[in-house]
Each structure stands twice: as C-alpha cells, then as structure tokens.
Amino acid sequence: MPFFKSYIQRHMLQLNINDEISQLKAVVLGIARSSGPTPTIEEAYDPKSLEHIKAGTYPLESDMIAEMEAFRMVFEKYDVKVFRPEVLENCNQIFTRDIAFVIEDKLIKANILPDREQEVEAILHVLDKIDDDNILQPPANVHVEGGDVMPWNDYIFVGTYTAPDYSSYITARTNKAAVEYLTKQFPHKTVKSFELRKSNTVAQDNALHLDCCFQPLGKGKAILHKNGFLVEEEYQWLVDFFGKENIFEIDAQEMYHMFSNVFSISPEVVVSERNFTRLNNWLRDQGFTVEEIPYAEISKQEGLLRCSTLPLIRA
C-alpha cells in the first residue's frame, strides 16, 4: 500500500501558476478534431463567429487541425508536457481556457455557457491527476471564464461586466460575483477588475475576454487596447502599472485580429500569429524570441493562442 500511494503521488500534477510568463512545464491544448458543422446564426456565441457564418468564411476543420498541430509542435520544441481533451463528436473543443484556469495550486472550473459543459468532461483524465482538494467549483451565481482571469504575481487581473444589462450580452462571461469569489479564495492577492466593452453584433467593439484587449509579457512589457476598456481610469491604471514606454498599443483592427491573444512559453519566448507583422517586429526589437505559427482560421471564432491553452504548471 505505501508503494501504491507513493506511485500515485509521483504521478499527480503539482499545479503551479502565478503569472502569465514563467517557464511553462505542462498545459492542456485544445483540439479541433470533430469540431462539428458550421454553426447556425442562432448558435453563434460571439460577433466574430457570427460575421464569418454569415459571410460563408467560417473556418474548415482541416485548417484548424493543421494550425493546432503547429502550436503543439512549438510546445514540443520547448519540452512542454501537452495534454489534449478527449475528442467529443461534433463538439468545438479548441478553447480550453474557457472551461477552467489555474491560480497557484488550485484549478477553478469555469461556470461556462450551458451548451459547453460537456467540454469539461473531456478533460477528466487530466483532472484525475489533480488532488480533489485543489479543484474548486464556484457556486452557480459565479460566472467566470479563464480568458478573463490573469494571475500576475501579487495580483489577479479580472475582466468583467457589471452593468444592469449583463444578462442581455452573450459576450459578457464574467460577473461581479466572480470577482468576489476570487477575492475570497485568494485573500493574500489583490484582485483588480476591469470593466470591458461588450457587443453581441460588432466584433471590433467587443472585448470578449480580458485577453482580447490586454496581455502582460516578459521583460516588463504588455499589449493593450484602450477602447476594450469601458472605464478610462482602469485602462490608465494598467498604463501606469507597466509604464507607457513598455506598452505595445494596438488599434481596433488589430484587436479584431486578436493581436493581444499571444502566448508566453517563458519570459523570453512568445508564440504569435505569423501575420502579426507589426507586433512580431516589436517583440523581436524588445529581445523576445517569437515563434510564429499560422492561426488566422481559428481567430475567426474570436479566440487565438492564449484561448486555446489551459496552463497547469509553470516553473
């Protein structure tokens, strides 16, 4: 029995996430296989997907599989342990960031759109490797998705929408109760919330998650889009926090293409979309190694590289 217990302990995942940039050791990367037919207009979860459904340019499964394979190969290059969801038939499982997120040694299950609850079941083989005491399930009134939550050392940055018309926005994913819940669960951290601009119909006017208009990077740098924030003082707080000279400000069109949704493998290595020329050149000028991959088809669903990942362990 002691041997069996020791074996189990050695093979459990010791979660550790305190920021967005430390050396990545283990991650759940989404999967595009059997992602289902093109959704109907009524089934669209966000305005950018809606736009491409109407235009007949919604991404093909084969293209999305190829893009995710390119991402997986970058992780392999840097010796990152990659877990994948089990394939559910006719189910979009690309955006694992939506279904759960890790802060310190705790995995918090997201209360996501009801139609997507089966996506959590597809990562049970990963959750089984985590101590039950380290898996948190927020109460039903807590609405939260991982794209809105960014651990950053002593802070937890949270994108939210708290106006009275919250329920009328399918693009409003994280509420005030989530901010209160995270504050209670992590009392030793400062939970800093940011009101995000929402639109059900115009993608350029919609910050679906915090990582659609903001991304902290290594070397004290950050990517930011002013109009993604409803309250200018909250945007300015980030400018002051990182320093204006350290910020790459993106415009509405660049936010639309998801320029802020890159992913850091380490403080020096950033995975970015290959068409983000202005950003990628700036990153190199700042001393980053930029791993460019094709991800433009997946971006048509208003999600990109960070959205596709659920980091479990960083050094």
List all residues 6 or more positions away from 237 whose beta carbon is below 8 Å from its beta carbon. Answer: 192
| Distance in angstroms (rounded) separating the CA atoms of residues 19 and 314 | 8
Q: Which of 83, 92, 20, 41 is nearest to 242 (CA)?
A: 20
Q: What is the pLDDT of residues 93-138, one digit of tens each?
A: 999 998 999 999 999 999 866 667 788 889 999 999 999 999 999 9
**Residue 44 has what pLDDT?**
73
Q: Exposed e or buried b for every residue in 82-99, given b needs 16+ CB within 10 A?
A: ebbbeebeebbbbbbbbb
| Distance in angstroms (rounded) separating the CA atoms of residues 260 and 245 | 17
- Domain 14-314, CATH: 3.75.10.10
Amino acid letter, 12: M
Cβ–Cβ < 8 Å for 156, 182: yes
Element of type H or E holding 9: helix 2-10
Q: What is the pLDDT of residues 199-239, one digit of tens each?
A: 766 667 777 899 999 999 999 999 999 999 999 999 999 99
**What are the sequence ranges of the domains in the chain?**
14-314
Give the number of C-alpha atoms closer than 13 A to the C-alpha of residue 91, restricted to the C-beta side: 18
Q: What's the mean pLDDT in 247-258?
A: 94
Q: What is the pLDDT of residues 40-66, one digit of tens each?
A: 888 876 777 788 888 888 889 999 999
User: What letter would DSSP give residue 164?
Assistant: T
Q: Which of the four pLDDT bands, split at 50, 70 and 90, describes residue 10?
A: low
Cβ–Cβ < 8 Å for 300, 57: yes
pTM above 0.85, yes or no: yes
